[in-house]
Structure 1
Amino acid sequence: MQLLGRLEIKSQERIIEFLNKQETGRVCSIDENGYPQIIPMNFVYANGSIYMHSHPRGEKLENMTRNSKVGFEADQSLEFLPSYFTSPTDASQADTLYISVVIKGNATIVSNPKEKAMALNELMKKYQPEGGYEELSQNMKVVEEVAIIKIVPVTMRGKYKIGQHMDKKTRLEIAKKILERNSSNAKHTVNIMGIIETKEGLQVSKEPNW
């Protein structure tokens, strides 16, 4: 329980910040036979809710109309830590550094044109921040034609493992091995762990606490 507490993101602001930096979320609804259906979706967190756009017909919309209770999650796998980082033979020592947010909530299909236009504009701001498009208004035909899913969270919890469970010495050793392994995400992961490279070598710049 002690470790689980240290893995929880305590800041609601950091959870929201994380959500809106992720390109893909996964929404889970329950089909007519009681099975979960999980779909990857573009999404945005705005005004206290998750918004997604969709084709106006489809199984997930039918599921949500029948049963509004849904799950939603977004995650970022930062770095796989091979078992040999800490043991030459024990495969159980393999681990992963990650950040994730899991939501339980109630889904509705938005009918209000003004709210639909707001959601679409927020999605565009997230995915096309450089602009180059006309802002959508509630009177545009495209707003009428697309479906907007809204999830109001009942619970929203975040977890992260970015080295906060390690002492400084171990964190520095793991960071060094991450850089030596040289994955595509290595430098980004080490930075999130609160480690910086200096002329004198790797140093702890901050505690990796959210």
Structure 2
Amino acid sequence: MFREMRRKDRAMVEEETKMLLETAQVGILSTVSTDNTPYGVPMNFVYTNEVIYLHCALEGQRLDNIVNNDSICFTVVDAVELMPAAFATKYKSAVIFGKIIVVEDIEEKRKGLIDIVKKYSPDFYEAGLQYIDKAFEKIKVLKIEVSKMTGKARL
């Protein structure tokens, strides 16, 4: 199923890939619908304890898709710098394959949301906790269990 990376000279070691996942701001969650139509959507996320947490509304295309097929691909690109004269681009990227679930456990859901607040709004932690409390029933938390991770960079 997985091909070897063609440009092995650009492969990042696992720790570099994990660091990218900890610092990147946006990732693309890719799912497949029941008619095999691919669907990719940019999302905020947090990588913690070897899993990725995301949040979303209570309904939508991504949720419809994962009910029928929980296999996903999640892609992150960061540190992008165009090099027009060289017809090239500097970048760091990670591609994640795994399974995605809707978090049903209340404590894990809260922890995922708190970790998202810590990443995106660290200076507003207390306000973030209040926001979580007010919006808790209107938010789904998704968890990606990583089965394969690759990182690649051109610096």
Residue of structure 1 aligned with 2:99, choices 99, 106, 109: 106
- Deviation for aligned residue 1:112: 0.4
Which runs of no fewer than 5 residues in structure 1 stay unpaired? 84-92, 163-210
Whichever residue aligns with residue 95 of structure 2, its letter is V
Which of 115, 137, 147 in structure 2 is aligned with 1:154? 147
Structure 2: which amino acid aligns with 1:156? Answer: M
Q: Structure 1: how far apart are the matches of 2:129 and 2:91?
A: 35
Output the amino acid matched with 2:54.
M
Q: Is residue 2:8 matched to residue 1:5? A: yes
Counterpart for residue 52 of structure 1? 54
Aligned length: 151
Residue 36 of structure 2 aligns to a residue in which SS? coil
Q: Distance in 2 between matches of 1:62 and 1:21?
A: 29
Give the structure 2 partner of residue 182 of structure 1.
Answer: none
Taking the aligned partners of 1:70 and 1:15, their CA distance within structure 2 comes to: 18
Distance 2:5 2:114 in 1: 42
Contact 2:22–2:48, Cα closer than 8 Å, also in 1: no
For the Cα contact (< 8 Å) 1:23–1:42, is it kept in 2?
yes
Moved over 2 A (4+): 131-137, 139-145
TM-score, normalisation: structure 2: 0.88
Aligned to 2:82: 80
Choose 1 or 2 for highest CA Rg: 1
TM-score by length of 1: 0.66
The answer on whether the counterparts of 2:118 and 2:125 sit within 8 Å (CA) in structure 1 is no
Find the counterpart in structure 2 of residue 122 from structure 1: 115
Distance 2:50 2:30 in 1: 19
2:40 aligned residue? 38
**Distance in 1 of aligned mates of 2:115 and 2:5:** 38
Contact 1:109 1:148 in 2 (8 A): yes
Select between 147-156 and 69-78 the one with higher mean Cα deviation.
69-78
Tell me, yes or no, if the aligned pair for 1:106 and 1:152 is still in contact at 8 Å: yes
Deviation at residue 132 of structure 1 after TM alignment: 4.5
Tell me what 2:16 maps to. 14
1:2 Cα offset (Å): 10
Structure 2: where are the runs of 5+ without partners?
Answer: none
Asked if structure 1 preserves the Cα contact closer than 8 Å seen for 2:121 and 2:128, the reply is: no
- Residue 37 of structure 1 deviates from its aligned partner by 0.2
**CA–CA distance in structure 1, aligned partners of residues 117 and 35 of structure 2:** 35
- The structure whose residues are more often strand, as a share, is 2
Identity fraction in percent = 28
- Tell me how far apart the structure 1 counterparts of residues 140 and 43 of structure 2 sit (CA, whole Å): 13
Alignment of 1:59-98 (within 5 A): 59-83=61-85, 93-98=86-91
